[in-house]
Amino acid sequence: MARFRINILGCGSATPSLRHLPSCQVVDFRDNLMMIDCGEGAQLSMRKMKLKFSRLNHIFISHLHGDHVLGLPGLLSTMSLHGKTGTVTIHTFREGIELLKPLVDFLCHEPSYELVWHEISPSGGTVLETPSLTVAAFPLYHRVPAVGFLMRETEKPRHIKGDMVEFHQVPVSRMAAIKAGADFVKPDGTVIPNAMLTSDADPCVSYAYCSDTTYNPKIAAAVRGVDLLYHEATYIDADAHKAHERGHATASEAARTALEAGARQLLLGHYSKSYEDESRHLAEARAIFPNTLAANEGMTIDLL
């Protein structure tokens, strides 16, 4: 069982190439699949990576450029053909709902599952909240309204020290409070500090997705302390003028954001088709932020 795995389905930019597909990722959180962006080829890539349509319940759209959404109608149609059940929620802007819903309704007019459209704001905010995971959007700085997504585990309970709990005769009815950090007060009024009864909880892991944006220090502030940062690196420094004209970032700017954010690891992606490989992207980023990887189709990264 995957506890928190990032699956790279596409990490190219606007034009598909023989090396890269348009933007698409699937996050596997405790066997629940969530897609971020849905470029062309998304459904085929899911099959290649053996990701089950039946487990995909949420799709987050960062912005409304074609290389991030054109795979959506085909994917939703195929999921229905495969008898997908339950609910699929599309998280996008109001404009996205207005544009995409009629097309999806026409091509997939009787889906086998319940299709829900959830409006998100370009200014950000909480998008999804479960007992174990929170997904928040934050603004990016592109030519059209765009957001990044921050996925963060919710705080985990502390670990019970079985021998100490038994020694102090802590009743079962108090265990939930003890795991949450409460002290234990004995019938005679003696206070047993929580630190004597528990050990630290497992760390909460986080992942941030930042595609299609120019450099802006506000991004680092939005993802402060993230474990893994995926950041677009469409261009290298020699083509910085193209990046800035087109609302994109260079690999070194992605690294600068990771450094300012205090990220643990950086993953580059959204490469322009004009490069034969990503060796220069990687070299320029690592000169600033050494713990950098270059995304590629089929790559998986486990955060836990």
**Active site includes 67?**
yes
d(CA 99, CA 102) in angstroms, rounded, equals 7
| pLDDT one-digit tens code per residue, 89-117 | 999 999 999 999 999 999 988 899 999 99
Task: Give the pLDDT mean for 192-202.
Answer: 88
Q: Tally Cβ neighbours within 10 Å of residue 217.
A: 11
Tokens of 135: 């997904």
Burial of 89 (0-12, 13-18, 19+ CB in 10 A): middle
User: How does DSSP classify residue 239?
Assistant: G
| Contact (CB, 8 A) for 213 and 146 | yes
Q: Tokens 């053909």 correspond to what residue?
A: 81
Q: What is the fold of 5-156+202-302?
A: Metallo-beta-lactamase; Chain A (3.60.15)
Q: Kindly state the percentage of the chain with pLDDT values over 90.
A: 84
* Candidates 37, 67, 212, 227; catalytic one: 67
Instruction: Give the three-class secondary structure for 246.
Output: coil
Q: What is the tens place of the pLDDT at every residue in 79-89?
A: 999 999 999 99
Place of tokens 């060796």: 279
Please name every residue paired with 160 in a beta bridge, in sequence order, or none if there are none. Answer: 198
Q: Quick one: pLDDT at residue 17?
A: 87
C-alpha angle 53-147-59 in degrees, rounded to nearest 5? 10
**How many CB atoms neighbour CB 144 within 10 A?**
13
**Backbone angles phi and psi of 97, in degrees to 5:** -65, -45
Residue 87 pairs in a beta bridge with 114
In the chain, % of residues over pLDDT 70: 99
Per DSSP, the three-state class of 134 is strand
3-class secondary structure, 111:
coil
d(CA 88, CA 102): 16
- pLDDT tens profile 135-157: 999 999 999 999 999 999 998 88
Domain spans in the chain, listed from the N-terminal domain onward: 5-156+202-302, 159-199
Name the pLDDT band for 42 (thresholds 50, 70, 90). Answer: very high
**Cα 193 to Cα 77, 178, 199, distances in angstroms:** 56, 10, 12
Q: What single-letter DSSP state applies at residue 172? A: G
**HSE of 193, CA atoms in CB hemisphere, 13 A:** 3
The β-bridge partners of 35 are 26, 59
pLDDT at 203: 85
The residue-averaged pLDDT of 284-295 equals 98
